[in-house]
């Protein structure tokens, strides 16, 4: 289990990198949007490329940040129901959700979208709007984003099995992220106690 947990730390590091990178994409999108609006209103100058790059950046934030969101346990949950269940039961539910729904969906989306990326790259597909951008980079965000989400799903699956075996902390309590050592130091007793439930 130790080797697998080391593997999860590598995946978590990758997810943290992309999670922090997309913050800058939000800033870039905001700056481009503001500059585009000022240019249109003040100078009557605009470009479809500026509009499309905002869409590209917006897509990148959500697709590349999905794995980081899972790492931080910030995804949508039905807390009203989950709060009534024991940590072990919630962990089993997460395992089923990851294995039955998340990982197959990620695989399907990668398989489905990759030929579209290759086709757009080979054909040099460009937006039909005047001055629009090439399309394959934004198409590539789909398999890339789902690959990152799938990797993080694998990491979370390993961490949940480790918790059930008493070999790791409870990822539901820690936000799934053991990168913050201070947070980890405050959790062992609590997670160990939860293992018995």
Which residue reads 């695989």 in tokens? 107
What is the predicted pLDDT for the residue at 128?
Answer: 86
**CB-side exposure of 112: number of CA atoms within 13 Å?**
8
**pLDDT for the residue numbered 183:** 40
46-103 tens-digit pLDDT: 788 888 999 999 999 999 999 999 999 887 766 677 778 888 988 999 999 999 999 9
Query: Once rounded to an integer, what is the mean pLDDT over residues 154-161?
Result: 95
Q: Tell me the C-alpha distance between 22 and 62, whole Å.
A: 8
Does the pTM of the predicted model rise above 0.85? no
Name the residue with higher pLDDT: 191 or 45.
45
Backbone dihedral angles phi then psi of residue 26, each to the nearest 5 degrees: -65, -45
pLDDT score, position 79: 67
Closest CA to 148 of 9, 12, 23: 12
In the chain, where are the structural domains located? 2-170+187-195
Average pLDDT, the chain: 85
pLDDT at 195 over 60: no
DSSP annotation of 129: S
- Rounded to whole angstroms, how far apart are CA atoms 20 and 29? 15
pLDDT at 130: 82
Instruction: Say if residue 180's pLDDT is above 70.
Output: no
Dump pLDDT digits (tens) for 98-143: 999 999 999 999 999 999 999 999 999 998 888 889 999 999 999 9
């Amino acid at each position: 289990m130790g080797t697998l947990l080391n593997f999860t730390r590598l995946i978590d590091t990758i997810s943290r990198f992309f999670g922090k990178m997309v913050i800058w994409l939000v800033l870039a999108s905001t700056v481009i949007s503001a500059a585009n609006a000022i240019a249109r209103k003040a100078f009557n100058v605009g470009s479809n490329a500026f509009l499309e790059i905002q869409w590209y950046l917006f897509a990148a934030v959500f697709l590349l940040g999905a794995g980081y969101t899972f790492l931080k346990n910030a995804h949508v949950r039905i807390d009203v129901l989950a709060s009534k269940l024991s940590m072990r039961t919630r962990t089993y539910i997460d395992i089923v959700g990851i294995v039955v729904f998340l990982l197959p969906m990620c695989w399907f989306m990668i398989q489905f979208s990759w030929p579209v990326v290759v086709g757009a790259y080979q054909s040099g597909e460009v937006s039909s709007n005047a001055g629009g951008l090439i399309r394959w980079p934004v198409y590539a965000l789909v398999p890339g984003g789902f690959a990152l989400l799938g990797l993080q799903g694998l990491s979370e699956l390993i961490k949940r099995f480790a918790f059930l075996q008493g070999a790791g902390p409870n990822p539901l309590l820690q936000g799934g992220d053991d990168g913050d050592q201070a947070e980890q130091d405050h959790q062992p007793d609590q997670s160990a106690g939860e293992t018995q439930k």
